[in-house]
Amino acid sequence: MSVPARVRNKRTVEEALHDQTWVRDIRGALGWSGLAEYLELWDTLSNITLSTMEDHHLWKWESSGTFSTRSAYRAFLVGSTTFDPWKRIWKSWAPSKCKTFIWLAIRNRCWTADRLQQRGLPHPAHCPLCDQEDETVQHLLTSCFFQAVLVLNFAAPGACHPGT
- To the nearest whole angstrom, how small is the minimum distance from the Cβ of residue 57 to Zn ion? 59
Residue 127 binds to Zn ion (criterion: CB under 5 A): yes
Check: CB of residue 45 under 8 Å from CB of residue 39: no
Residue 144 binds to Zn ion (criterion: CB under 5 A): yes
Residue 130 binds to Zn ion (criterion: CB under 5 A): yes
Residue 129 binds to Zn ion (criterion: CB under 5 A): yes
What whole-number distance in Å separates Cα of residue 146 and Cα of residue 130? 6
3-state helix, strand, coil in the chain (%, to 5): 50, 0, 50
Cβ within 8 Å of residue 17, ≥6 positions away: 45, 48, 50
Q: How many residues interact with Zn ion (rule CB under 5 A)?
A: 4
Of 51-59, 60-68, 82-90, 127-135, which segment contacts Zn ion by CB under 5 A?
A: 127-135
Site for Zn ion in 3-42 (CB under 5 A): none
What whole-number distance in Å separates Cα of residue 46 and Cα of residue 80? 33
- To the nearest whole angstrom, how small is the minimum distance from the Cβ of residue 127 to Zn ion? 3
Check: CB of residue 99 under 8 Å from CB of residue 89: yes
DSSP code for 130: T
- To the nearest whole angstrom, how small is the minimum distance from the Cβ of residue 115 to Zn ion? 16
- To the nearest whole angstrom, how small is the minimum distance from the Cβ of residue 136 to Zn ion? 9
Closer to Zn ion by Cβ: residue 16 or 129: 129
**Residues engaged in binding Zn ion (CB under 5 A):** 127, 129-130, 144
